[in-house]
Structure 1
Amino acid sequence: MKPADVGIAVMVAVIWGLAFVASRLALDELPPELMTALRFGIAAVPCLFLPKPKQVSWPLLIAISFTLFLGQFLAQSIAIAHGMPVGLTSVIVQSQALFTIGFAALLFGELPSRMQTVGIAVAGIGLLMICGTVGYDFSVTAFAILMISPISFAIGNLLLRPAQGAPMFQLFAWLCLCAAIPLFALSLLTLGAKPVWLALSHLSLVGVLSLLFVGAISTSIAYWLWGALLRDHPAAQVVPFALLVPFVGSAASSIVFSERFGPLRLAGMITVIGGIAVMLLSKRPKGLTKKTLPKVA
């Protein structure tokens, strides 16, 4: 990779890490379903100028959107709104790599390599260590809801495979639109029109800027840049940069929200990241080499 591309990869990882903090700031002022709807509504603005990708059918577009975007980010938002620490959230979401490889093995027979199996085991141990801290500053319910996020993310990764030929920016804009519409409907159904309007009309400058960051920069621009990197370079060169996301998210959360990590939780977080590093840096099955899109926030 050229130095400029390395810089872009690092920048995207930093953006995704900071997006966890921005999401929490927005959630301090908005219900999770409305905040997530606004996030994707902002990211879907390019649909006004870009047609739906011809390479992707409506059923596939909706399926990808409901897993990769709606399911993943709504679960994150609800979990954070129910007290899930932001730094810890940024680590657990990255366990999507574990689930992606596992689902690929179950559904497509893409058996992981020996080193990937070791990485899965290590990451699994780390998640169990984190489970040991449940009940101290977050509930079992919040943790269970958050685990929907990496699972949805992993399913979306696999559904995204048939759409790899579509223009990335165009594809992600329409994925955001497919997520935004039902989320706005859900917000009106569960909250009511008046509470939605009151929440929007009382947004502070911090809330507005946080929404613009997660919608326009983190979701729209960062995903487009990441997709371009995956298009131009082998996934093995690009994907490891995603390991920076939980470090940035945890560091930013400790600064902004004074989040602290006890010995067991910190050890679990490091173990999860270590296991993911083994999975991402080891030789992957051919079917996963350039097909898996990792994330972030």
Structure 2
Amino acid sequence: MPPVFYSFFVPALFVWLWSTGFIGAKYGLPFAEPFTLLLIRMLLTLLPLAVLAWLMKTRWPGWRGAGHLAITGVLVHGCYLGGVFYAIDQGMSSGLVSLIVGLQPLVTAVAAVVFLKETVTRRQWLGLLMGLLGVGLVMAEKFGGGAGGTVSLSALTLLWAGFALLGISLGTVYQKRYGTSVDLVSGTMIQYSAAAVLFAIGALAFETREVQWTLQFKFALAWLVFGLSVSAILILMWLIRRGAASQVASLFYLVPPVTALEAFILFDERLGPMAMAGGLIAVAGVALVVVTGPRKAIG
């Protein structure tokens, strides 16, 4: 196949799949509570991954490595997905949720400075400030009641979105600090299993666990399982083997605008001029950080 297929199409497909996770949540949440939906998603995802692990004769880590993977799973999948789904369930638009959690590279850069003693360039600090400014503009429009400001934006939804952002950011740093060269399939299974335990506790403690098995719910669940939790991982594995993981990282900042476009087409979720300008500024800020990742401190 031509080089452009590897350098652009497949990474772009991965980003598109990732962006549809917010849309899948929007379609599925009217028929099941967040933790219940996520628990079902995790359990169904483990089945095809188990088959894949058996076919590929996957290597499994030791107990110490599995423990680190479990913590990463709770943070990256448990806290992140739980926060995103609850924010959407409580009324925050999928486009706005994706914008907030899309600042993950920025927060991760700060966390890396604090916990990993990494240095950040002036260009990256500029990106951090631009990201915060962009989100600030979106928030100002939402609270100000401008165009697109009629959504249900409350302190609770912001708390859940911030919880998701913090979870995936700390999980990324933890993985970088304690990560091992474990097989991606077995590592993903351990992470999903740990997240499933968290979702089971949440569903049992706080939810009714009632599910309406409508056609829309089944379709949304199938997409979340096979389109996101399985296919996106398989594409990531393929990209890493092709040596294109850096291209995937550089495209992650495209997720918020792609999600916003999908939400506009499917749900008529609108952003006013100030919010759109804020989104563009935030995307540019994330790009400044991601394109030139933080360097290790010397000495």
TM-score range relative to shorter protein = 0.7 to 0.9
CA distance in 2, matches of 1:11, 1:133: 31
Matched, 1:126 2:114: no
- Tell me the equivalent position of 1:37: 39
The equivalent residue for 1:271 is 281
Q: Does 1:54 find its partner at 2:61? A: yes
Decide whether aligned partners of structure 1 residues 186 and 144 sit closer, same or farther in structure 2, where only a CA change above 3 A counts: closer
Cα shift at 1:283 = 5.2
Aligned partners of 2:179, 2:238: CA distance in 1, in Å? 14
User: Which blocks of at least 5 consecutive residues in structure 1 are unaligned?
Assistant: 288-297
Out of 263, 276, 298, the position equivalent to 1:253 is 263
Q: CA deviation at 1:207?
A: 0.7
The reply on whether 1:225 has 2:235 as its aligned counterpart is yes
State the match for 1:190 in structure 2. Answer: 206
Q: Give the Å deviation of 1:47.
A: 5.5
Write the deviation string for residues 246-280 of structure 1: whole angstroms up to 9, x where unpaired.
22211110011100001222121111111001111
User: Residues 114 and 286 of structure 1: is their aligned pair in 2 closer, same or farther, counting only changes over 3 Å?
Assistant: same
How far apart in 2 are the matches of 1:236 and 1:114? 21
Q: How do 1:38-187 residues align onto structure 2 when only pairs under 5 Å count? A: 38-46=40-48, 48-49=50-51, 50=53, 53-54=60-61, 57-135=65-143, 136=149, 137=151, 138-161=153-176, 162-187=178-203
- TM-score, length of structure 1 as denominator length: 0.87
- Indicate conservation of the 8 Å contact 1:47/1:174, yes or no: no
Tell me which moved more, 216-225 or 27-36.
216-225
Tell me the TM-score normalized by structure 2: 0.86
In the aligned structure 2, how far is the partner of 1:274 from the partner of 1:66? Answer: 30
Paired amino acid for 1:184: A
Give distance in 1, aligned partners of 2:26 and 2:201. Answer: 22
Alignment check: 8 A CA contact 2:117 2:296 kept: no
Tell me how far 1:164 sits from its aligned partner.
4.4
Does structure 1 conserve the Cα–Cα contact (< 8 Å) formed by 2:106 and 2:131? yes
* Length, aligned pairs only: 281
Deviation at 1:229, TM superposition (A): 2.2
Q: 1:244 Cα shift?
A: 2.5
Higher deviation after alignment, 81-90 or 178-187: 178-187
- Counterpart residue number, 1:293: none
Contact 2:49 2:230 in 1 (8 A): no
Equivalent position amino acid for 1:3 in 2: V
Match of 1:7 in 2: 9
Q: Greater CA deviation, 126-135 or 28-37?
A: 126-135
Bigger mean CA deviation after superposition, 101-110 or 131-140: 131-140
Q: Is the 8 A contact 1:169 1:220 kept in 2?
A: no
Equivalent pairs: percent with the same residue? 19
| Distance (whole Å) between structure 2 residues aligned to residue 159 and residue 53 of structure 1 | 20
Alpha-carbon distance in 1 for matches of 2:201, 2:97: 26
Counterpart of 1:294 in structure 2 is none
CA distance in 2 between counterparts of 1:165 and 1:92 reads: 30
CA distance in 2, matches of 1:99, 1:226: 23
Given the superposition, is the C-alpha separation of residues 140 and 264 from structure 1 closer, same or farther in structure 2, using an over 3 Å criterion?
A: farther
The alpha-carbon deviation at position 96 of structure 1 amounts to 0.4
Q: Which runs of 5+ in 2 are unaligned?
A: 144-148
